[in-house]
Amino acid sequence: MSELIRKDASELSGLLESREVSAVEVAQAHLDRIADVDGAVRAFLHVDTEGALNAAKNVDAKRAAGEKLGALAGVPLGLKDILATKGLPTTVGSKMLENWIPPYDATVVTRMREAGIVILGKTNMDEFAMGSSTEHSAFGPTHNPWDLERIPGGSGGGSSACLAAFEAPLAIGTDTGGSIRQPAAVTGTVGVKPTYGGVSRYGAVALASSLDQIGPCGRTVLDTALLHEVIAGFDSMDQTSINAPVPAVVEAAKRGDIKGMKIGVVRELGGEGYQAGVRQRFDEAVVVLQSLGAEIVEVSCPSFDYALAAYYLILPSECSSNLAKFDGIRFGLRVGDDGSRSVEQVMSQTRAEGFGDEVIRRIMLGTYALSAGYYDAYYGQAQKIRTLIAQDFAKAFSQVDVLISPTAPTTAFKIGEKLDDPLAMYLNDVATIPVNLAGLPGMSLPIGLAPEDNLPVGLQIMAPAMADDRLYNVGAALERALVAQWGAPILSSMAGV
């Protein structure tokens, strides 16, 4: 195994800048790693070997010519297959878009290419980002590198798994209700959902437009901050994009000083239903934060108890609307069109064969919630809960600088264990959903292994809108203290692939 794949993005950046290694060498090492282990992990849906090596050669040529390059120029990355990439498949984990080759790049992809980041390929995901386990991908599940019989989280399990398996040092995910943070928690990696509007969504296939957010994933807090800085910022192509300076996330990650900060522990996120080992590691992390000079305050956000129910009305409603265009006539797959059938028959057969069970379930829920006579009772009421959740956050942030909770209530469960129980699956996002409903930034970082099963546990940090730098400040301080305590990064103890 090449030692290069064990290097973090910031370490690779230093080696590349000093020309101790070339971008081609770094890319090839990671492509070789993918070839060695991805048959078991299945993090990638498409590996772009030629494109990655050409991008790496371009970086090397620019560096040799003396051009000033970005900090991540030549560093490889796995890209969630929900973002349009010119000339490459973008399937969104669905048969509906199995053969779609976009003619354009998403804004985030354009910014990464301009920064010299080397895109290795497209990572697996739950179909149209609906799921918490990556088992709902039309192309088969991704496996957790810690234990190949377990899930890597979802919907962005491919992005988190490629990091944990050392197939890439960086990845991009999207987070609608926890799809960056929950996978990070169960794979021992770092994932950030930026402030809603802080990173352009142009070119991302929409699930729920008021909730979706693209964000950075890495193996360290600093690496994630470096990627955040590349992809963030105003974009006129996204009407929800915030026209304001990007928070100083890299500076905050390098500072990592929390003396005098007030950190709130959310009472409603961590009680019944949380695995004992998850609670134990969380409580220990709170003690570490206190030892670093932070003041710990218990905070109550009572409306959070209704967040899951509100979310599973708002998300399906928006999903029902956004996915209506995939009908066999306008976009995507078309089946049953033999010239003798009506438009309605073709649409019905296309959607039945093109969408998987979970997507169909959520479309049905959303269509019902938006139907005449039920709109006010369901969707309207859910939006009122959303307002109450935002008010709870506002009240909490008048008392503290950041909030914390466990990221996920349990460690990674066995593949197939919850597949037939949608409610049990939905409960995996109970701690992450409030952040999306309020449009706030959140981070998950590893805080140890649960004693029951020796699997990773994540801690979630939440901050006010456009205060993403606070996530990195607190995350870096905690990460540094924990790594010093463990003697090595958590992934070094992984016994999997």
Handedness of CA 359, 422, 456, 406 (dihedral sign): positive
Encoded tokens for 462: 């939440």
Structure tokens at 468: 């993403």
Alpha carbon 239 to its chain centroid, in Å, reads: 22
| Residue 350: predicted pLDDT | 79
Q: How far apart are CA 464 and CA 467, in angstroms?
A: 5
Q: What is the model's pLDDT at position 332? A: 82
Work out the number of other CB atoms within 10 angstroms of the CB of residue 244: 12
Q: Which amino acid is located at 399 in the chain? A: Q
Q: pLDDT tens digits for 395-406? A: 999 999 999 999
Contact 402, 471 (CB under 8 A): yes
Mapped onto helix, strand or coil, the DSSP state of residue 420 is coil
- Give yes or no for a contact between 188 and 442, defined as CB atoms under 8 angstroms apart: no
pLDDT tens profile 68-123: 999 999 999 999 999 999 999 999 999 999 999 999 999 999 999 999 999 999 99
Domain spans of the chain? 3-300+394-493
Dihedral sign computed on CA atoms, order 31, 113, 461, 469? positive
Write out the E strands in 151-281. 170-174, 190-193, 214-218, 262-266
Which pTM does this prediction carry? 0.97
Task: Detail the DSSP E strand segments found in 386-477.
Answer: 402-406, 442-449, 456-462
pLDDT of residue 45: 98
Q: Which amino acid is at 283?
A: D
CB 94 within 8 A of CB 127: yes
Whether the predicted pLDDT of 49 surpasses 60: yes
Looking at the DSSP assignment, which residues form a beta bridge with residue 232? 199
Catalytic position from the list 80, 122, 193, 418: 80
How far is residue 33's CA from residue 381's CA, in Å, rounded to a whole number? Answer: 49
pLDDT at 462: 99
**468-486 and 221-231 helices, crossing angle to 10°:** 160
Side chain identity at residue 197, one-letter code: G
Q: At what angle do helices 23-41 and 9-17 cross, to 10 degrees?
A: 150
Cα dihedral 356, 357, 363, 365 in deg (nearest 10): -170
Mean pLDDT of the chain: 96
The span from the first CA to the last CA of the chain, in angstroms, equals 11
The arrangement of secondary structure in 3-300+394-493, i.e. its CATH architecture, is Alpha-Beta Complex (3.90)
Residue 43 contacts residue 111 (beta carbons within 8 Å): no
Question: Is the pLDDT at 452 greater than 90, yes or no?
Answer: yes
d(CA 336, CA 148): 38
Question: 216 with 187: CB under 8 angstroms?
Answer: no
| Alpha carbon distance 406, 183 (integer Å) | 13
Whether residue 426 has pLDDT greater than 70: yes
Predicted local distance difference test score (pLDDT) of residue 465: 98
Q: Is 64 exposed, middle or buried (0-12, 13-18, 19+ CB in 10 A)?
A: exposed
Q: Is 173 helix (H, G, I), strand (E, B) or coil?
A: strand
φ, ψ of residue 462 in degrees (nearest 5): -125, 140
Q: Is residue 76 classed as helix, strand or coil in its secondary structure? A: strand
pLDDT of residue 352: 84
* CA angle (289, 180, 477) in 5-degree steps: 20
Q: What mean pLDDT is predicted for residues 1-24?
A: 94
Model confidence over 165-197: pLDDT tens digits?
Answer: 999 999 999 999 999 999 999 999 999 999 999
**Residues 216-255 pLDDT 10s:** 999 999 999 999 999 999 999 999 999 999 999 999 999 9
Contact between 355 and 94 (Cβ < 8 Å): yes
Q: Which of 179, 200, 317, 320 is catalytic?
A: 179
Q: Is 80 a catalytic residue?
A: yes
Examine the residue annotation and report whether 398 is marked as an active-site residue of this protein: no
The Cα 468–Cα 285 span in angstroms is: 20
Q: How far is CA 82 from CA 100, 214, 317, 341, 417, in A?
A: 11, 10, 20, 32, 26
pLDDT, residue 2, reads 82
Amino acid identity at 127 = E
> Is 95 among the catalytic positions?
no
CA distance 359 to 245: 37
Q: In whole angstroms, how far apart are CA 171 and each of 43, 47, 54, 290, 339?
A: 11, 14, 19, 31, 44
Q: How far apart are CA 130 and CA 176, in angstroms?
A: 9
pLDDT in tens, 314-346: 999 999 999 999 988 888 888 877 777 788 887
Supply 407's token pair: 């990221």
Exactly one of 13, 22, 137, 155 is catalytic; name it. 155
For Cα atoms 138, 155, 83, give the angle at the middle one, nearest 5 degrees. 80
User: HSE-up of 50 (CA within 13 Å, CB side)?
Assistant: 2
Q: CA angle, 341 as apex, 340 and 343 as ends, to 5°?
A: 135
| The pLDDT of residue 4 | 96
Distance CA 170, CA 322 (A): 29
